Amino acid sequence: GRLSLWGGRFSGGPADALAELSRSTHFDWRLALHDIAGSRAHARVLHAAGLLGDDDLSAMLAGLETLAADVESGAFRPAPDDEDVHTALERGLIERAGSDVGGRLRAGRSRNDQVATLVRMYLREHARTVGGLVLDVVDALMSQAQRHPAVAMPGRTHLQHAQPVLLAHHLLAHAWPLLRDVDRLRDWDRRAALSPYGSGALAGSSLGLDPEAVAADLGFAGSVDNSIDGTAARDVVAEFAFVTAMVAVDLSRLAEEVILWATKEFGFVTLDDSYSTGSSIMPQKKNPDVAELARGKAGRLVGNLTGLLTTLKGLPLAYNRDLQEDKEPVFDSIDTLEVLLPAFSGMVETLVFDADRLAALAPQGFSLATDIAEWLVREGVPFRVAHEVAGECVQVCESRGIELWDLSDDDLAAISGHLTPAVREVLTVEGSLASRDAKGGTAPVRVAEQLQRASDVASDA
Ligand code: ARG
């Protein structure tokens, strides 16, 4: 029959169909080494509580060490009859240390507090990996900004030409949200840094085991305050799913722009050959697949978050087997980002911008009209009037097929007595950029400061 952890009160083993449904080793096996680390820590508190003799502790730790080595080498694998990673590893320990020693380990713990702890350990490790990979994208954006300190481009709202901005300013506008995502991961870790181990099934342990000692052993800042909460809550997992989904959404926003920028119509960037793909039928094609996959995978990560929240909604306290569904979504989000992020930073790092085209398009679409209005305000004209006057300039230009800077002194004077030839100082991209010189603005001097601050934040992260 099956070697289960709960056979005692049952007259027979589970039906094949139930075993098939119940089994989780195909996705929770990745927690095996964390499970063994938890077992080591648990063995020590059993020993400290006088429930495990010196020799038994040594035998148990030796058995766990062999087991860990066999897991790592692949010599020990979950069997079809193992319900989950915890069940498989108890079998593995008993095979190595004997059933007398191996059978003592489970006292005072439950798979409920175990799995809640192991998931936190696993997520905390991968939060660091993912955070580092997000910072690589930030680095790529900052190095592109550094390489293009004075290149102007059309800034857009509603995807329409709005006002000229610096390319570096625009690129940094993608770096800041990613820096906040890294900060979110760090902040998340404060909440994830409490260990549920010792909560038992839900009510805590009667055996004098110290949850704080286990927590310290496993690299946590402390143990949870409430054993019911410790085994039942998954907000920490859901929050991780949110932050990783946010990372993907932030990447997808840049991805969409790269896809547009790489079209013939925009012609803003050329993708490096090593980060583009071809077509099996159209010999000329060079496709932005990295960006498209980023855009697509964002949907997948949002789905992982949504699925998990839906699983958690309305669950009564404490542990319910539904909670086993917490792992696959976040594992998938981690796997996806750990593959996507290196390709994405490589793509960003190797983008080649067409600086001349960007600069030539920057003042198109009457994008300096706001500069006329604000120049008038600086001359003492009320903004309502200034807006009207600048709008008239656009209308005149549009009807004649000319640009704002083509208006003659007479044209300007005819539109409004306030429009002296001095307005021309803001009718250049350089003048427009330089005038937006408050903190956070697109003036080159401010963008240089901004880049410095971004790189300070990145190196602190
Ligand atoms: N494999 C389960 C999970 O991942 C833990 C086992 C708890 N099972 C139980 N019947 N209490 O959540």
**Active-site annotation, residues:** 158, 279
Tokens of 176: 């800041």
Residue 291 has pLDDT above 60, yes or no: yes
ipTM, two decimals: 0.95
Q: If you measure from the C-alpha of residue 324 to the centroid of ligand 1, how many angstroms do you get, rounded to a whole number?
A: 6
Residue 146 has pLDDT above 80, yes or no: yes
Q: Where are the domains of the chain?
A: 16-107, 112-151+162-207+218-355, 365-460
Residue 65 has pLDDT above 60, yes or no: yes
pLDDT digits (tens, 9 = 90+) for 86-129: 999 999 999 999 999 999 999 999 999 999 999 999 999 999 99
Q: At 3, is the pLDDT very low, low, confident or very high (cuts 50, 70, 90)? A: low
User: Please, what is the end-to-end C-alpha distance for the chain in angstroms?
Assistant: 53
Q: If you measure from the C-alpha of residue 4 to the centroid of ligand 1, how many angstroms do you get, rounded to a whole number?
A: 12
Quick check: CB of 115 below 6 Å from ligand 1?
A: yes
Report which protein residue has its CA nearest ligand 1's atom 10.
321
Q: Which CATH number fits domain 112-151+162-207+218-355: 1.10.3720.10, 3.40.640.10, 1.20.200.10, 3.40.228.10?
A: 1.20.200.10
Q: At 176, is the pLDDT very low, low, confident or very high (cuts 50, 70, 90)? A: very high
Give the pLDDT of residue 2: 53
Report the C-alpha gap between 38 and 32 in whole angstroms: 10
Ligand 1 atom index nearest CA of 85: 1
The yes or no reply on domain 16-107 and CATH 1.10.10.10 is no
3-state DSSP of 170-234: HHHHHHHHHHHHHHHHHHHHHHHCEECCCCCCCCCCCCCCCHHHHHHHCCCCEECCCHHHHHHCC
Quick check: CB of 220 below 6 Å from ligand 1?
A: no
Cβ-based neighbour number of residue 452 at 10 Å: 11
Fold equal for 112-151+162-207+218-355 and 365-460:
no
Provide the whole-model pTM: 0.96
Quick check: CB of 114 below 6 Å from ligand 1?
A: no
Quick check: CB of 318 below 6 Å from ligand 1?
A: no
Give the architecture-level CATH label for domain 365-460. Orthogonal Bundle (1.10)
Give the pLDDT of residue 439: 97
